[in-house]
Amino acid sequence: MGEQTAWRFTAGWGGMSTRVDANDRTDDEGSTPVAVQESRVRAPRATRATAKGDRADTGCAPMVIAFFNQKGGTAKTTSTLNIGAALAERGHSVLAIDLDPQASLTMALGIDIQSLELSSYDLLIDEGVTAAMIAQPTRIPGLSLIPSHPDLAVAELELLNALERERSLSRKLSPEARKELGARFILIDCPPSLNIVSINILVAMDYLVIPIEPHPLSIMVLPRLFDTVARVRRLNPTMRNLGFLPTKVHGTSRLAKEMIVALHENFPDLTVLPSIPLSVQGAQSVAQYSSILDYSPRSPVAEAYRQVARELEKAVCP
């Protein structure tokens, strides 16, 4: 009964149509989000050393995909890690950027945050630091990382006086910087907040993916998310929304089925990506500092993340 009430509230939500989704495009927008020239230039050692059969020369520009939802615990970090691993498994050179002061992605990849000399904090705050200077290889072949540090929590205050503070990240992910990085996919693990760091991510990204878990509250937070995206659109008019990524989905759960129906009803123009099943293996793989693809390669969760990676690959570079 409680569940039904929540979804009905959602379904009756007039203001939540796709009119405010991130795919609204103005007439002068092209289909390629960022005019980045195809490149075969030298990549930094960190990225290049780990790339397995790099497919960066397929003719598609390097793309930034942000896994964003201001709600906590929707599997943003787990999805960034495993989709990164799945894209790397497909032969792409992938860079993940941890932009959450919790540094969950950094720790999940077994990196000791105490010993970091540079982190995503420096990327945002220090004009002289480039992304290529910070990117480091991970134990997952083909996946490199710009790690995070708890210092990132104070970036908000430090950015207050910065010139064009919303564009700090996008300046660091310029076409030239992307060439230098040599990564075909740049995946951003976002913090569970709507702050200046989040705004920087929304301004810098080409594509948005919204991890969402089957819970009535998940849908209730979407108006604020889309409102923020709509406000940021002025600064990033070519961003595209690749859709929702349902996570922690229990196959037989009525809650999950109802959420997916509600997403289709409320956002008919947005894609609902393949669901990621609920499984304890996700947490178990983190305990091994590994991806689920490595820890349990044939598990339903690993297969689901592979499927999502294929979908994203198709959407970004058809």
Q: Which residues contribute to the site for ligand ATP (CB under 6 A)?
A: 72-78, 100, 102, 104, 192, 247-248, 276, 278-279, 282-283, 301
Of the candidates 104, 217, 62, 86, the residue with the CA atom closest to the CA atom of residue 142 = 86
Q: In this structure, what token pair is assigned to residue 94?
A: 């992938």
Of 104 and 266, which has the nearer Cβ to Mg ion?
A: 104
Q: How far is CA 127 from CA 95, 124, 130, 162, in A?
A: 20, 8, 8, 10
Q: How far is the CB of 314 from ligand ATP (least distance, A)?
A: 22
**Could you tell which of ligand ATP, Mg ion, none binds residue 202, using a CB distance below 5 to 8 A set by kind?**
none
Q: What is the DSSP letter of 94?
A: E
Of 36 and 292, which has the nearer Cβ to ligand ATP?
A: 292
Of 36 and 278, which has the nearer Cβ to ligand ATP?
A: 278
Q: Which residue has the tokens 């693809």?
A: 293
The answer to whether the CB of 79 falls within 8 A of the CB of 309 is: no
Q: Is 78 among the residues that bind Mg ion (CB under 5 A)?
A: no
Q: How far is the CB of 76 from Mg ion (least distance, A)?
A: 5
Q: How far is the CB of 302 from ligand ATP (least distance, A)?
A: 10
**E strand or H helix at 100:** none
Phi, psi of 123 (to 5 degrees): -60, -40
Q: How far is the CB of 72 from ligand ATP (least distance, A)?
A: 4
Of 98 and 122, which has the nearer Cβ to Mg ion?
A: 98
Of 223 and 251, which has the nearer Cβ to ligand ATP?
A: 251
Q: How far is the CB of 60 from ligand ATP (least distance, A)?
A: 27
**Could you tell which of Mg ion, ligand ATP, none binds residue 78, using a CB distance below 5 to 8 A set by kind?**
ligand ATP
Q: What is the DSSP letter of 200?
A: H
**Could you tell which of ligand ATP, Mg ion, none binds residue 301, using a CB distance below 5 to 8 A set by kind?**
ligand ATP
Residues 75-98 as b or e (16 or more Cβ within 10 Å = b): bbbbbbbbbbbbbbbbebbbbbbb
Q: Is 77 among the residues that bind Mg ion (CB under 5 A)?
A: yes
Q: In this structure, what token pair is assigned to residue 248?
A: 């922690």
Of 75 and 183, which has the nearer Cβ to ligand ATP?
A: 75
Q: In this structure, what token pair is assigned to residue 47?
A: 């990225």
**Could you tell which of ligand ATP, Mg ion, none binds residue 179, using a CB distance below 5 to 8 A set by kind?**
none
Q: Is 71 among the residues that bind Mg ion (CB under 5 A)?
A: no
Q: What angle do CA 44, 189, 235 make, to 5 degrees?
A: 90
Rounded CA-CA distance 200/10 in Å is 29
Give the list of residues 6+ apart from residue 62 with CB closer than 8 angstroms, or none.
Answer: 36, 39, 56, 178, 179, 181, 183, 184, 185, 186
Query: Could you say which of 50, 74, 82, 104 contacts Mg ion (CB under 5 A)?
Result: 104
**Could you tell which of ligand ATP, Mg ion, none binds residue 293, using a CB distance below 5 to 8 A set by kind?**
none
Rounded CA-CA distance 42/35 in Å is 19
Q: Is 69 among the residues that bind Mg ion (CB under 5 A)?
A: no
Rounded CA-CA distance 174/216 in Å is 38
Q: Is 76 among the residues that bind Mg ion (CB under 5 A)?
A: yes
Of 78 and 168, which has the nearer Cβ to ligand ATP?
A: 78
Choices 32-40, 98-106, 155-163, 211-219 (CB under 5 A): range interacting with Mg ion: 98-106
Chain residues that interact with Mg ion, rule: CB under 5 A: 76-77, 104
